[in-house]
C-alpha cells in the first residue's frame, strides 16, 4: 500500500516503524526518517498542499500525525478529493482544537471532567482565580502543542499565564484540579465503534521529580502495572464511547485517533484533555509493542469498517521511552549542536524528532531532539534498556529525565 504520513516528529517516526513493508512517504519528515520512507516537503497547515502531495504520490492512505493540519481541515480536503485519510474532520477535531467545545460535548454525553470557566477579558482573571484556587489549572483554549497548561499553587504564576494566553489572542480556561494519577489511552474511533490501544503514562515536566515547566512530554511507558484489569474497559465505557456517540448525534462523527487523557481519582476516571491524534511521546512506547499490522487498522478506520477489525494483538512485556532534549528546552531550545552515537540509525531504538543533517552529521533542529525506546519483560527492564541506549548518545548541553516510570516501578502509584 502507498501511504503518506504527515508530520515531522518522533510520533511520525514511530508510525513509520509500525508500517514497514509498505511504500511510505513522509512530509515534511526529518533527517532520521530517510531509511524508512521517502521524505518530501509540505506545508502542514495547508490542506490543499497535502491533497496535492497525496495525488502526486498516488497515496492509497494518508495518515495525519500532528494537530495543526487536522484543525485546518486537511481530512475534509482529502475526503473531498477521494483519498482515504486517517484523521478526524475539522469539525470533529475541535475536541482538541477548542477545550470549550470539548467541555460542551462531555456535558451532553455525561462524561466526568473538571468544572471550568472560560475567560476572554483580562478584568475577569481575578474572579476566576478566586473561584478555582489554591491549586490553579490554567489552560490555553486553543492549540498549544501540549505546553499551554499551567498547574500551580502560585497565584501569581497562574495569573501571568492567563494574561499571556489572552494577550496572544486566545481565550483561557480555568479548571478545577483533578486528583489521581493520569492515564493516556489512545482509542481508534470509527463512528460509534471504539477500539482501545494499550494504556500509557507520560511525564510532562521538564525535570526529575516532576519539577520545572510543562513540556510536550519528556518520556512515557506502557502498559500501566498499577491500572486495574478492567481499567481500559472502564475508560472506554465511561469516556470514549459516550463521546463518540455524542459526536454522531451532532452530525460530526469521529473517525481517527481519540486520545483520552484522564485522571483516575476516588470516583474513577475523569477527562483532563482530549487530543485528536496520536500523542507524543506515548505513541513511541505503545506502538513498539503492537503486533497487529498498523496500516491495515488505520485503513479500516479511514474506510469506515473498524468494526471488522476486532481486538488488537500486543507483544508481552513493557516499553519505555525517554526524550533527549536540547539545551534550553522548552523555553528557548538551542539548535545546531552535533549529535553522535552508535544507535542513531537504529529505528527500533532511536526515534528522531528534531534532527537535521548538515555535512553528513545529525544536528539538533528542535527542542525534543530524539526519543529512545526500550523494551523488556518487566517495566524496570524496559526502562533500563532505554537508559543504556540514551547514555551512548552525545549532544552538547542536552538533558533527559532520569526518573521515567520510577514511581510505577517503586509501587508509588495506586488507585
Q: The CATH number of the domain where 71 resides is what?
A: 3.40.50.20
**Shared domain check, 188 and 140:** no
- pLDDT value of position 396: 98
- pLDDT value of position 146: 52
**Shared domain check, 214 and 285:** yes
- The DSSP bridge pattern shows strands 318-325 and 205-207 to be unpaired
Give the number of domains in the chain: 3
The answer to the question of residue 102 being in a domain is: no
> In terms of residue numbers, what domain contains 140?
115-175
- The DSSP bridge pattern shows strands 182-190 and 338-339 to be unpaired
- pLDDT value of position 141: 77
**Shared domain check, 262 and 390:** yes
The answer to the question of residue 222 being in a domain is: yes
**Shared domain check, 233 and 269:** yes
211: β partners: 207
The answer to the question of residue 103 being in a domain is: no
Q: What is the pLDDT of residues 325-344, one digit of tens each?
A: 999 999 999 999 999 998 99
Q: What stretch of H or E contains 150? A: strand 149-152
Cα 187 to Cα 9: distance, rounded to the nearest angstrom: 21
CB 395 within 8 A of CB 326: yes
**Shared domain check, 341 and 251:** yes
The answer to the question of residue 104 being in a domain is: no
10 Å Cβ neighbour count for 124? Answer: 16
Helices (H) and strands (E) in the chain, counts: 14, 22
Q: The CATH number of the domain where 190 resides is what?
A: 3.30.470.20
- pLDDT value of position 139: 85
3-state secondary structure of 270: strand
Measured on CA atoms in the order 188, 36, 32, 64, is the torsion positive or negative? Answer: negative
Residue whose C-alpha cell is 530524539: 370
Q: The CATH number of the domain where 141 resides is what?
A: 3.30.1490.20
**Mean pLDDT in runs of 10 for the chain (415 residues)?**
98 98 98 96 98 98 97 97 98 92 96 92 92 86 66 90 90 90 98 98 96 94 98 98 98 98 96 95 98 98 96 97 98 97 91 96 97 98 98 98 98 94
CB 400 within 8 A of CB 325: yes
10 Å Cβ neighbour count for 348? Answer: 10
Burial 31-63 (b: 16+ CB within 10 A, else e): bbbeebbebeebebeebebbbebbeebebbbbb
The answer to the question of residue 106 being in a domain is: no
CB 162 within 8 A of CB 125: yes
**In this structure, what DSSP letter does residue 176 have?**
P
The answer to the question of residue 37 being in a domain is: yes
The answer to the question of residue 51 being in a domain is: yes
**Shared domain check, 192 and 336:** yes
**Shared domain check, 395 and 274:** yes
**Shared domain check, 250 and 345:** yes
Q: Which phi and psi angles does 14 have, rounded to 5°?
A: -65, -40
- pLDDT value of position 98: 87
- Alpha-helical segments (H) within 260-323: 282-287, 294-303
Amino acid at each position: 500500500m502507498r501511504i503518506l504520513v504527515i508530520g515531522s516528529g518522533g510520533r511520525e517516526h514511530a508510525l513509520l516503524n509500525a508500517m514497514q513493508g509498505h511504500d511510505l512517504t513522509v512530509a515534511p519528515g526529518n533527517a532520521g526518517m530517510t531509511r524508512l520512507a521517502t521524505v518530501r516537503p509540505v506545508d502542514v497547515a495547508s490542506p490543499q498542499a497535502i491533497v496535492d502531495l497525496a495525488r502526486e504520490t498516488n497515496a492509497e492512505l494518508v495518515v495525519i500525525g500532528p494537530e495543526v493540519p487536522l484543525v485546518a481541515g486537511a481530512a475534509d480536503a482529502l475526503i473531498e478529493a477521494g483519498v482515504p485519510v486517517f484523521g478526524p474532520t475539522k469539525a470533529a477535531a475541535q475536541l482538541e482544537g477548542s477545550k470549550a467545545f470539548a467541555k460542551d460535548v462531555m456535558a451532553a454525553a455525561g462524561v466526568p471532567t473538571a468544572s471550568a470557566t472560560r475567560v476572554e477579558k483580562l478584568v475577569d482573571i481575578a474572579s476566576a482565580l478566586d473561584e478555582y484556587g489554591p491549586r490553579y489549572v490554567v489552560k490555553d483554549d486553543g492549540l498549544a502543542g501540549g505546553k499551554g497548561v499551567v498547574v500551580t499553587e502560585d497565584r501569581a504564576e497562574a495569573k501571568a499565564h492567563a494574561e499571556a494566553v489572552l494577550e496572544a489572542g486566545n481565550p483561557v480556561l480555568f479548571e478545577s484540579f483533578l486528583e489521581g494519577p493520569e492515564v493516556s489511552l489512545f482509542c481508534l474511533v470509527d463512528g460509534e465503534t471504539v477500539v482501545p490501544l494499550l494504556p500509557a503514562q507520560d511525564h510532562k515536566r521538564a525535570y526529575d521529580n516532576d519539577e520545572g515547566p510543562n513540556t510536550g512530554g519528556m518520556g512515557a511507558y506502557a502498559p500501566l502495572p498499577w491500572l486495574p484489569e478492567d481499567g481500559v474497559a472502564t475508560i472506554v465505557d465511561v469516556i470514549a464511547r459516550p463521546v463518540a456517540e455524542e459526536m454522531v448525534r451532532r452530525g460530526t462523527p469521529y473517525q481517527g485517533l481519540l486520545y483520552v487523557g484522564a485522571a483516575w481519582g476516588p470516583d474513577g476516571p475523569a477527562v483532563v484533555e482530549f487530543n485528536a491524534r496520536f500523542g507524543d511521546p506515548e505513541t513511541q512506547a505503545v506502538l513498539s509493542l503492537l503486533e497487529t499490522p498498523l496500516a491495515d487498522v488505520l485503513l479500516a478506520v479511514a474506510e469506515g469498517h473498524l468494526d471488522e477489525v476486532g481486538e488488537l494483538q500486543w507483544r508481552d512485556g513493557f516499553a519505555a521511552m525517554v526524550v533527549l532534549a536540547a539545551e534550553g528546552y522548552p523555553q528557548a531550545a538551542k539548535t545546531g549542536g552535533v549529535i553522535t552515537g552508535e544507535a542513531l540509525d537504529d529505528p527500533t531504538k532511536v526515534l528522531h524528532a528534531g534532527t537535521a543533517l548538515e555535512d553528513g552529521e545529525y544536528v539538533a533542529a528542535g527542542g525534543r531532539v530524539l526519543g529512545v525506546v526500550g523494551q523488556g519483560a518487566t517495566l524496570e527492564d524496559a526502562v533500563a534498556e532505554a537508559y543504556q541506549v540514551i547514555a551512548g548518545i552525545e549532544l552538547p548541553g542536552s538533558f533527559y529525565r532520569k526518573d521515567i516510570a520510577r514511581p510505577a516501578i517503586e509501587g508509588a502509584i495506586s488507585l
